[in-house]
């Protein structure tokens, strides 16, 4: 298994996005429309799924320890023991039949930490498999479904802490999950509260990352096992 420290990948995809601009966690640092985690990201807007007219993104769980099985992304496996933060970018127009194409290309999203993996497979199987670990608390997610991820006319390119995304959708929309290396800034603005590691406050989260896990969450007891 290998850690994907840097990549410049063109992926397949197609999708649409939700509209609502508010300050989110510190991890997503820049982009056309950063929103709080919506109540639902299922495909159908009629079933409560978030919809939009341009790409939007939100933070999911921050500061997550990858389990023994590793984390499958487009270009390989993020190894067990890696500490990551998760984010979703999507474009999803209101339910329609027939639907005209909705295109949003060249959108650049930036993150606190380097991007180490993207999940954009066409039926969203990587996303669905990782949602119990990485999904935003309280958000309803979609099971794998036809064209959930990216299609051949969609693409993304990763460079360090940024991803440039091109989406062309009718229905359903497109959803991709971006996995970044967790950094101390991910603990800010409530990010520590979304972590499954049980931090007692923001400082506890920062200490864990700055000591590479030697200060245990909730205890700050040095250990050589992490």
pLDDT digits (tens, 9 = 90+) for 196-218: 999 999 999 999 999 988 888 87
pLDDT, mean over the chain: 87
pLDDT band at 3; cut points 50, 70, 90: very low
Does 14 fall in a domain?
Answer: no
Place of tokens 């929309």: 173
Does 223 fall in a domain?
Answer: no
Lowest mean pLDDT among 20-34, 35-49, 109-123, 190-204: 20-34
> Quick one: pLDDT at residue 14?
29
On the 0-12 / 13-18 / 19+ scale of CB atoms within 10 A, 36 is middle
Task: List the Cα angle 121/125/131 in 5-degree steps.
Answer: 115
Q: How many CB atoms lie within 10 A of CB 108?
A: 13
Q: Could you give the number of structural domains in the chain? A: 1
What whole-number distance in Å separates Cα of residue 143 and Cα of residue 217? 31
Does 142 fall in a domain?
Answer: yes
What whole-number distance in Å separates Cα of residue 199 and Cα of residue 213? 12
Does 39 fall in a domain?
Answer: yes
Indicate the pTM of the whole model: 0.86
User: What's the gap between Cα 32 and its chain centre?
Assistant: 16
pLDDT band at 101; cut points 50, 70, 90: very high
Does 170 fall in a domain?
Answer: yes
CB 186 within 8 A of CB 33: no
Does 86 fall in a domain?
Answer: yes
User: What's the gap between Cα 51 and its chain centre?
Assistant: 17
Does 195 fall in a domain?
Answer: no
Domain containing 149 equals 28-183
Does 41 fall in a domain?
Answer: yes
Question: 36-84: per-residue pLDDT in tens?
Answer: 999 999 999 999 999 999 999 999 999 999 999 999 999 999 999 999 9
pLDDT band at 24; cut points 50, 70, 90: very low
């Amino acid at each position: 298994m290998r850690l994907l420290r840097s990549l410049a990948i063109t992926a397949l995809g197609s999708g649409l996005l939700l509209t609502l601009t508010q300050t989110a966690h510190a991890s997503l640092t820049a982009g056309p429309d950063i929103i709080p985690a919506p109540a639902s990201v299922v495909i159908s807007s009629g079933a409560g799924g978030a919809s939009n007219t341009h790409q939007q993104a939100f933070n999911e769980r921050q500061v997550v320890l990858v389990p023994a099985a590793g984390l499958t992304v487009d270009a390989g496996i993020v190894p067990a023991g890696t500490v990551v933060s998760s984010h979703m970018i999507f474009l999803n127009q209101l339910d329609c039949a027939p639907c005209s194409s909705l295109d949003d290309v060249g959108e650049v999203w930036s993150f606190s930490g380097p991007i180490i993996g993207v999940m954009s497979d066409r039926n969203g199987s990587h996303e669905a498999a990782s949602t119990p670990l990485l999904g935003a608390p309280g958000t309803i997610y979609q099971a794998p479904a036809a064209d959930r991820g990216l299609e051949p006319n969609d693409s993304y390119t990763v460079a360090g802490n940024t991803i440039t995304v091109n989406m062309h959708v009718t229905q359903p929309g497109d959803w991709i999950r971006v996995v970044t290396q967790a950094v101390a800034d991910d603990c800010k603005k409530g990010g520590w509260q979304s972590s499954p590691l049980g931090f007692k406050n923001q400082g506890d989260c920062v200490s864990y990352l700055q000591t590479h896990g030697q200060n245990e969450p909730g205890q700050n007891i040095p250990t050589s096992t992490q």
